Chains A and B, each alone.
Chain A
Amino acid sequence: MIGPVLRREFESTLGRSAVISDPAQLRTYECDGLTGYRVVPALVVLPESTEQVAAAVRLCARERIPFVARGAGTGLSGGALPVAEGIVISLARMRAILRIDVANQRMVVQPGVTNAGISRAVAGHGLYYAPDPSSQIVCTIGGNVAENSGGAHCLKYGFTVHHVLALQVVLADGSVVTLGGDSAEGEGPDLRGLFIGTEGTVGIATEITVRLLRKPESVRTLVADFPSVAQAGDAVSDVIAAGMVPAAIEMLDHLAIEACEAATHAGYTLDTAAALVVELDGPQVDCDGLFEQLSEICHRRGTTKIRIAASEAERAAIWQGRKAAFAAVGRISPDYFVQDGVVPRTRLAEALGRISAMSEEAGLRVANVFHAGDGNLHPLVLYDQAAGQAERAERLSHDIAELCVELGGSLSGEHGIGTDKACSMPRMFGQDDLAVMGRVRDAFDPDGLCNPGKVLPTPRLCGERPGPYRPHPLEQAGVIERM
């Protein structure tokens, strides 16, 4: 319980304007981008510095109060869902760019700086920050570190973990440490890499040193329409087999295109079954050669139309259409769930076939927009809450994520596990695997105060019943057996 005495202690430590306790205001923090889960926190604090974050965490540690760090609240897995009786530590006021080092191509920022804000700050130097999640205009780098965010271009450029050199972190006891360092190689285990993607469960990053890249000399973007999803998929396979690593290969199915066009008028063809957005970037000569090869592949696989972005503005429009896809679905359906799962790229066609069958069986439409190059699916399950379809839609969405695991993939490619999928984790990992992840968490946060209830399943969250059966690695090897 946070009583008035403790509240005043937070106020005297952080300043009165940095503490929110008014019930109406607290309610604005009750959920993140996954609005189906809502919990009103007991208190919200808005620190402005590492010292203030550490001071707030020390108070929590002393009083055994759980805390949840929050960036822009754009997360889609309930990773920033508050804990009742706990506090939310919002990093929204920590928006300073601390150092820009052009010569060494890096920047030190506070966690509340937006993803796009980083690139904007160094655009004049011809530099940019590579990971580009669709929410990049508003999502923060602190949230990106927590989720190990990727984006459309991660096929070539990788994820947040590949672009962060060092982190200043406030641990669960309020101590401050640096993980990673000035170079690409440190001393001993890679704690920086271990921290990134832990979804706020082992500490709060308060300063982030990001790597900046030189903007590519040439960027070539095309949209290729195909008469079927299968043909588009074949084209993607051929691109990979040809040894190309495009910056991005995105696929949209008919329903997704319809939504995007309704929202952005980006110029996608409305009467096509599927479209690929392929982007090549790099040095001019390499890029031109590969682009020719790419066009040939699309023609060989029966493209009905190729549109090549003729200007930076046209390229931006194509991407705006693609990145607005999630929100755009609101134009064609009153409600929808965004799913995020990964299958081995070679099983994309199978996955889409199964999803289509599941969609029919549930009597709900599913729009597909996904990163085809790396098998990261984002099925959008459309439903009408008013018509009582919510529960069915949620089940379908969860079934799709678990289907991805069944096909040898992952529960999440970029949205994270958070609250939403913690109870699905036993589908993907065995008891021992999860217990060892638990040891990591316990090493950082023995009292379990740091974003509890996220990522790892708990009996309280998921019930006492053990997860569904999946074979232990030793069982697969034929060494041990269970009845």
Chain B
Amino acid sequence: MGDDALAASTRDRSAGTPEPAARAVACPASLAEAHQAVRESTGTVLVSGGRTGLDWGGPVRDPDLVIDTTAMNRLITHNPADMTVAVQAGMRLADLQQALAPAGQWLALDPPTALAGPTLGGLLAGGDAGPRRLAHGALRDLVIGATVVLADGTVARAGGHVIKNVAGYDLGKLFAGSLGAFGLIAELVLRVHPRPPASVTLAVPADPTAALAATQAVRASPLEAVAVEWDGTRLLVRFEGTADGVAARQRDARGLDRLAGAEPLVDTAEQDAWDGLAAAAYGQDTDTVIRAGTRPDRLPDVVEALRRAAGPAGVTAELTSSVAAGVHTARLRGGDAAGHAACLRDWRAAVRDLGGTVTLRRRRDGVDDLVPAWGPPAPSVGVLRALKARFDPDRRFAPGRFAPWF
């Protein structure tokens, strides 16, 4: 691509300002164009995809250049018999699922952002996953190859096109949860799965203690649930497999003491329940959304800590949980920025006291001025800083994303 082509894909901010404000926007359509956009940039860079998680972590203020990857939206190769697909990282998850469907396959990933149009690169950078993580892992577990562009313009590839591969370091893992601070994810090779022919979801009313006990009962049984989620009032347990198989398993599950009273969600109720859960975990513009990870049996403590943090702060707090994975999402509503900040600070401290981790996702305007995006750094932050120094020594990519850690 020549200079003219880059100019054509680089607009002045007057042509349409994305959030956060940037002086220029590049819209590469290929690895080569992405490489050129990075190589020719000199200032700070924010990589954006579907913008479903662009504000996660610390705020990136006024980057000199936004590289919008959504024109890198091609499926490169799909090998159904090998169960692999290679994509440009700006491809949207929904488009990929549609492309895989004729082969009876899918990417076994159901993140809360799914309905808002996330790209695959964005999903990897956000480290996100949904309820089916229990059966299939997060996106980091499904990436078998990655091509990235580093701040100095180096293009590097790791992994490959085969599922089983231990040759070399797995750069995909470094970019999983990197929130754009280590480079641009340009292309990904993914492992796909057969789409199961049948699904059934049971719902049972449950407080946190009952939800935990029921989850442990399901996990101790041989029923192999693909998802076990608590939506704040109910525990949802999903089975997928053959039609006969899921029918038998839901029957056996209802025979468990802890799931007495569980009812299958029929017709549209099943999809509605899962969509509702995703919407709650994704949140809305004026919400603050916080993701926490703990040992699974901490669920009641985590819920209690949130109640204690939210009350005095004057905010309404709701929590959903991937109970078996120990991943919880708190959504704060109502109140003001000071209340959201206070609730974040107090709940984060409590979760970390329980041995957990906390990542700030979206937040109400003003929260960033009142509280840091990250809690006190763990000892491993030294490794992160050393990696950052070697991948982006001038701190050009997503500056502020991991502040105050680096």
A contacts, CB < 8 Å to B: 101, 103-105, 126, 147-148, 150, 154, 158-159, 161-162, 171, 175-179, 181-194, 196-198, 214-217, 237, 240-241, 243-245, 282-286, 289-290, 342-346, 371, 374-376, 408-417, 421, 425, 428-430, 432-437, 439-444, 446, 455-456, 472-474, 477-479
Chain A residues near B245 (CB-CB < 8 A)? 282-283, 285-286, 289
Kindly supply a per-residue 1/0 record for chain B positions 124-156, scoring 1 wherever the CB is within 8 Å of any chain A CB and 0 otherwise.
Answer: 000101000100011011000001001000111
Q: Which residues on the B side are within 8 Å of A193 (C-beta)? A: 140, 170, 173, 176
CA distance A108 to B79 in the complex (A): 39
A415 contact set on B, CB distance < 8 A: 166
Q: For A417, what are the chain B residues with a Cβ–Cβ distance below 8 Å?
A: 166-168
Most chain B beta-carbon neighbours within 10 Å: one of A148, A185, A215:
A185
Given contact pairs A150-B164, A479-B1, A158 touches B137 in the complex (Cβ within 8 A): yes
Are A179 and B297 in contact, CB atoms less than 8 angstroms apart?
no
Within the assembled complex, what's the spacing in Å between the Cα atoms of A191 and B163? 20
Decide: B79 and A344 in contact? CB cutoff 8 A. yes
Asked if B102 is at the interface of the complex by the 8 Å CB criterion, the answer is no
Q: Is the CB of B391 within 8 A of A414?
A: no
Min CB distance, B137 to chain A, in Å?
A: 6
Assuming the contacts A105-B219, A184-B133, asked whether A375 and B325 have C-beta atoms less than 8 A apart, the reply is no
Return A477 CB to nearest CB of chain B, in Å: 5
With both beta carbons as reference points, the residue of chain A lying nearest to B248 in the complex is identified as A285
Please, which residues of chain A bring their CB within 8 A of the CB of B357?
Answer: 181-183, 185-187
CA of A440 to CA of B379, assembled, Å: 18
Main DSSP-derived SS at the A contact region: loop
Report B-chain residues with C-beta under 8 Å of the C-beta of A178.
Answer: 378-380
| Stretch in B177-185, B255-263, B305-313 touching the partner | B177-185
Q: Check A414 against B166 for contact (C-beta < 8 Å).
A: yes
Q: What distance in Å separates the Cβ of B46 from its nearest Cβ neighbour in chain A? A: 17
Asked if B32 contacts A104 (CB within 8 A), the reply is no
Query: Complex formed: what's the CA distance from A92 to B380 in Å?
Result: 26
The 5 A-B residue pairs whose C-beta atoms are closest, nearest first, are: A183-B293, A286-B245, A193-B173, A217-B222, A243-B194
| A177-B383, A215-B222 given; A103·B83 CB < 8 A | no
B241 touches A184 (CB 8 A): no
Closest residue to B173 on the A side, CB-wise? Answer: A193
Name B144's closest neighbour in chain A (CB-CB).
A410
Nearest residue (CB) in B for A243 is: B194
Contact in complex: A440, B380 (CB < 8 Å) = no
Query: Which residues does chain A contribute within 8 Å of B249, judged by CB atoms?
Result: 283, 285-286
Q: Which residue of A194, A345, A408, A473 contacts B155 across the interface (Cβ within 8 Å)?
A: A473
Write the nearest CB–CB distance from A382 to chain B, whole angstroms.
Answer: 24
Chain B: residues with Cβ within 8 Å of the partner, total of: 97
Q: Which residues of B contact A158 (CB under 8 A)?
A: 137, 141
Q: Are A189 and B174 closer than 8 Å at their CB atoms?
A: yes
- A375's closest neighbor in chain B, by CB? B162
Interface residues of B in 192-243 (CB under 8 A from A): 193-195, 197, 216, 219-224, 241-242
CA distance A444 to B246 in the complex (A): 47
* Among candidates A103, A240, A283, residue contacting B248 with C-beta atoms closer than 8 Å: A283
Partner of A413, one of B165, B197, B384: B165
Are B157 and A147 in contact, CB atoms less than 8 angstroms apart? no
State whether A440 touches B162 (Cβ < 8 A).
no
Q: How far is the CB of B347 from chain A (nearest CB, A)?
A: 15
**Given the complex, which residues of A lie within 8 Å of B291, measured CB to CB?**
185
Not counting A182-B357, A413-B164, A432-B156, a sample of 9 additional A-B residue pairs whose C-beta atoms are within 8 angstroms of each other reads A183-B357, A186-B357, A241-B81, A243-B104, A243-B194, A410-B167, A428-B168, A433-B158, A473-B157
Indicate if B341 sits at the interface (CB-CB under 8 A). no
26 contacts between A and B (CB under 8 A): A104-B297, A154-B164, A182-B294, A182-B298, A183-B294, A188-B359, A191-B383, A194-B171, A217-B223, A245-B193, A286-B244, A286-B246, A286-B248, A342-B164, A344-B84, A375-B164, A376-B164, A408-B162, A410-B160, A415-B166, A417-B167, A430-B157, A435-B154, A436-B156, A477-B31, A478-B32
Judge whether B327 is part of the interface by a CB distance below 8 angstroms: yes
Query: In the assembly, what is the distance between CA of A430 and CA of B168, in Å?
Result: 12
Q: Do the beta carbons of B164 and A410 come within 8 Å of each other?
A: yes
Pair B161/A344 contact, Cβ less than 8 Å: yes
